[in-house]
């Protein structure tokens, strides 16, 4: 009897356990289909190159692809430079919610992570990487370098200094090496000493012996990763020759205007101390690249005096016609039997008017 009971009992127990396991698996699988499921449209937030002190925001979309409400239990940032904002922390099935991520980078840049904590049983924590490259932002002192009046060429070379000052307390010394200093003319010599202070660097700007006579009207460029700062360089070098006026202004002119002509008189500085009165010769006359094709030149000698006739013709200008000033310079090679040959440099400003709408 006992043998028969064991023979029937064991299969019965196996069947019962199988049924119970099947029921548990079925309901467990059924219930798991009702769980929330988090989906994030990106796992990396790249802000690119940003200057320190600026705030930039990007959006990450969080979607619930599950069958029950997704609860965002919290968003944790890896550093204090990152802020997050979520309008609602409960996302119904099939819906999305934007996560606003704002960073304020230091000059070091940003490399951190965000942790999104949820009630998704399979993704209790979702990690997002956040990064931004550093951009140096420096103040320039001064923004205009004026050498003033240089009485004669024997005072050359002459130097002035420019200071690059970081506008952040978190600056590191090596970042100053990322700033490139360039001059627009060869007679400007640049020396950037290797010695650095913690927050600044000095640039030595020198007018060389090759500096032209007359007005110095040129530019210096300080280039960072994301911007270029322009510094005006001014001065006046007094030589044996001078021009009147000292700066040539053409315009304002618009497209339909007739050509305009201005006259520049070139003189020897002390002709009355020399007998007989020396004859001045203009050996060459040229315009800077920005004025070529826009201004034409004609050189004449009248009553022993050399004159330059500069003419602007609107029909020769092929650039964009807008409110703008075109800067350039006129270079004259002057010679006289009473003084050595010198280059006389005269600043030129061309002013263009905006045309009426019907003329565009």
90-108 pLDDT per residue, tens: 999 999 999 999 888 765 6
Min mean pLDDT across 58-67, 86-95, 103-112 is at 103-112
What's the pLDDT score for residue 60? 92
What's the pLDDT score for residue 304? 62
What's the pLDDT score for residue 141? 78
Q: What band does 360 get if pLDDT is binned at 50, 70 and 90? A: very low
- How many angstroms separate the Cα of 86 from the Cα of each of 83, 96, 292? 10, 11, 58
Q: What band does 70 get if pLDDT is binned at 50, 70 and 90? A: very high
Q: Where are the domains of the chain?
A: 38-135, 136-239, 240-360
Tens of pLDDT, residues 124-133: 889 999 988 7
Q: Is the pLDDT of residue 315 over 70?
A: yes
State if pTM tops 0.75. Answer: no
Min mean pLDDT across 45-49, 64-68, 121-125, 296-300 is at 45-49
**What is the spatial distance between Cα 138 and Cα 135, in angstroms, rounded to a whole number?**
10
What's the pLDDT score for residue 123? 85
What's the pLDDT score for residue 272? 54
**What is the spatial distance between Cα 148 and Cα 215, in angstroms, rounded to a whole number?**
10
Indicate if 240-360 has the same CATH topology as 136-239: yes
4 or 180: which leads in pLDDT = 180
Q: Is the dihedral of CA 269, 286, 156, 204 positive or negative?
A: positive
CATH of 136-239, one of 3.30.70.20, 3.40.109.10, 3.10.105.10, 2.60.40.10: 2.60.40.10
What's the pLDDT score for residue 337? 78
User: What is the mean predicted confidence (pLDDT) over 225-239?
Assistant: 81
- How many angstroms separate the Cα of 333 from the Cα of each of 178, 188, 275, 297, 311? 39, 19, 23, 14, 20
Q: Is the pLDDT of residue 119 over 50?
A: yes
- How many angstroms separate the Cα of 200 from the Cα of each of 106, 166, 183, 224? 17, 6, 20, 15
Domain 38-135 has CATH 2.60.40.10: yes
Q: Is the pLDDT of residue 174 over 50?
A: no
Widest CA span in the chain: 154
CATH class of 240-360: mainly beta
Query: What per-residue string of b and e applies to 6-18 under the rule 16 or more CB within 10 Å gives b?
Result: eeeeeeeeeeeee
What's the pLDDT score for residue 171? 41
Take residue 57 and report the two structure tokens written for it.
């925001």
Q: 305 near 321, Cβ under 8 Å?
A: no
**What is the spatial distance between Cα 250 and Cα 114, in angstroms, rounded to a whole number?**
60
Cis peptide before 157 (omega within 30 of 0): yes
């Amino acid at each position: 009897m006992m043998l028969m009971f064991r023979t029937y009992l064991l299969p019965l127990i196996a069947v019962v356990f199988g049924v119970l396991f099947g029921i548990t698996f079925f309901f467990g699988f059924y219930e798991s289909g009702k769980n929330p499921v988090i989906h994030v449209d990106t796992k990396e937030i790249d802000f690119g190159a940003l200057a320190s002190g600026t705030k930039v925001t990007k959006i990450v979309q969080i979607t619930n692809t599950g069958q029950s409400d997704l609860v965002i239990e919290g968003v944790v940032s890896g550093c204090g430079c990152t802020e997050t904002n979520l309008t609602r922390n409960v996302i119904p099935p099939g819906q999305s919610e934007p996560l606003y991520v704002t960073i304020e980078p230091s000059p070091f840049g940003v490399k951190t992570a965000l942790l999104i904590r949820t009630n998704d049983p399979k993704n209790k924590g979702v990690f997002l990487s956040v990064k931004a490259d550093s951009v140096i932002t420096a103040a320039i002192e001064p923004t205009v370098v004026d050498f003033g009046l240089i009485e004669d060429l024997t005072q050359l070379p002459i130097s002035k200094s420019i200071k690059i000052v970081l506008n952040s307390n978190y600056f590191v010394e090596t970042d100053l090496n990322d700033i490139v200093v360039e001059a627009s003319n060869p007679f400007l010599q640049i020396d950037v000493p290797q010695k650095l202070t913690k927050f600044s660097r000095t640039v030595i700007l020198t007018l060389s012996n090759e500096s032209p006579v007359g007005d110095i009207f040129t530019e210096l460029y300080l280039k960072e990763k994301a911007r270029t700062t322009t510094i005006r360089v001014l001065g006046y070098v007094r030589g044996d020759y001078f021009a009147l006026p000292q700066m040539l202004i053409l315009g304002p002119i618009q497209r339909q205007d007739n050509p305009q002509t201005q006259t520049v008189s070139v003189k020897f500085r002390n002709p009355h101390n020399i007998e007989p009165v020396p004859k001045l010769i203009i050996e060459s006359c040229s315009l800077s690249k920005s004025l070529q094709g826009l201004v034409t030149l004609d050189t004449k000698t009248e009553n022993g005096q050399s004159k330059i006739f500069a003419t602007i013709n609107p029909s020769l200008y092929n650039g964009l016609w807008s409110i703008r000033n075109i800067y350039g310079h006129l270079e004259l090679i002057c010679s006289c039997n009473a003084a050595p040959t010198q280059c006389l440099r005269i600043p030129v400003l061309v002013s263009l008017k905006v045309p009426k709408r019907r003329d565009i």
